[in-house]
Amino acid sequence: MNAVQVKGLGLKLGGRQVLTDLSLSVASGEFCVVIGPNGSGKTTLLRLLAALLVPESGKIELFGQPLGRYSRRQLARVLALVPQQAPTDFPFSVRETVLMGRSPHLGLMAFERATDLALAAEAMAFTDVSHLADRRLDQLSGGERQRVIIARAICQQPRLILLDEPTAALDPAHQIKILDLLERLRQERGVTVIMVSHDLNLAALYGDRLLLLCEGRADRVGTPVEVLERARLERVYGCTMVVEEDRRNGFLRVSPVPARYRKD
Ligand code: ADP
């Protein structure tokens, strides 16, 4: 079954066409990376998928059901959104923050049950933040905070997790750690992952399917090899690019070419 089915999506914001006739299918358990230049509509697409914005045209289905038919609460049981910036002024402990992921599953005024506490402990172990459980979120490093926000999303037990540049502020080792975590989530629990990223190399490393957006339209949807073509990237990003296969590991590497190295 498709986790996400988007057809003919269009949206205008502030009088400007931000997304045009966008279609995308993401299979259940797939890792999809949305790439594209600044302002191409990546965050807007995530916000539409999370029902934070309503499209003007087209339709969105999650797990076979129109998005509009989900109540807020039902949606929170199916989908978790990890925003671009983890909050920095958040006076809660790591454990409290992660437990907030359980709220869509609790009754009105209900307290967490033992199973909720166990799920929070498991999510903290999964993201390697158990040792930080009693620390306040606003006293952690950027990488630690990001892992806690992902732990909260995992604790929510979603079938679909949407992430907006979750690794933008992290060093390469922490980037890989977070993305390996998402990959494990996908493999071990069948969670579908849709991630917005500026990093074409990370997209090549982790994406089963890439969506390349250009001025609000899908320029190409496909595997990394299908999407990360040199001429296509040069046209979309407007700069000279190198795309090469790392023969030892079998993945693609993409790099823009600075003027000082250009031979033409
Ligand atoms: P990306 O995530 O690819 O950088 P966005 O989805 O954030 O792009 O934005 C796409 C375009 O929509 C940009 O040109 C942005 O300025 C515009 N935009 C986003 N939100 C609004 C808004 N609320 N009102 C008007 N324009 C907006």
Computed on alpha carbons and rounded to an integer, the radius of gyration of the chain in Å comes to 19
Cα–Cα distance between 83 and 103 in angstroms, integer? Answer: 18
Cα–Cα distance between 232 and 241 in angstroms, integer? Answer: 10
Q: In this structure, what are the phi and psi dihedrals at residue 6, rounded to the nearest 5 degrees?
A: -115, 130
Position 85 scores a pLDDT of 74
Residue positions counted in the chain = 264
Position 105 scores a pLDDT of 79
Q: In this structure, what are the phi and psi dihedrals at residue 91, rounded to the nearest 5 degrees?
A: -80, 40
Cα–Cα distance between 40 and 7 in angstroms, integer? Answer: 18
40 lines ligand 1 (CB under 6 A): yes
Residue 263 pLDDT > 90, yes or no?
no
Percent of the chain with pLDDT over 90: 73
Position 201 scores a pLDDT of 95
Residue 31 vs residues 4, 20, 23, 62, 225: alpha-carbon distances, Å:
12, 23, 17, 15, 15
Q: Which atom of ligand 1 is nearest to the CA of 164?
A: 2
Position 60 scores a pLDDT of 98
Position 88 scores a pLDDT of 73
Least confident of 7-16, 119-128, 212-221: 119-128
Looking up tokens 């000279």 gives 240
The percent of the chain in helix, strand and coil, each rounded to the nearest 5, is 40, 30, 30
Q: Is 172 helix (H, G, I), strand (E, B) or coil?
A: helix
pLDDT for 24-72, tens place per residue? 999 999 999 999 999 999 999 999 999 999 999 999 999 999 999 999 9
At 167, list the tokens: 């690794």
Please report which confidence band the pLDDT of residue 84 belongs to, taking 50, 70 and 90 as the band edges. confident
Please report which confidence band the pLDDT of residue 108 belongs to, taking 50, 70 and 90 as the band edges. low
Cα–Cα distance between 212 and 145 in angstroms, integer? Answer: 29
Cα–Cα distance between 174 and 150 in angstroms, integer? Answer: 13
Looking up tokens 């993201």 gives 127
The neighbour count for residue 115, using CB atoms within 10 Å, is 10
CA-nearest of 52, 133, 72, 73 to 99 is 133
**Whose C-alpha lies nearest to ligand 1, atom 20?**
13
Q: Which atom of ligand 1 is nearest to the CA of 46?
A: 6
At 215, list the tokens: 């001025």
15 lines ligand 1 (CB under 6 A): no
Q: Which atom of ligand 1 is nearest to the CA of 216?
A: 10
pTM of the model: 0.92
Q: Is 115 left (phi over 0), alpha (psi -120 to 50) or beta?
A: alpha
38 lines ligand 1 (CB under 6 A): yes
Average pLDDT, the chain: 92
Please report which confidence band the pLDDT of residue 177 belongs to, taking 50, 70 and 90 as the band edges. confident
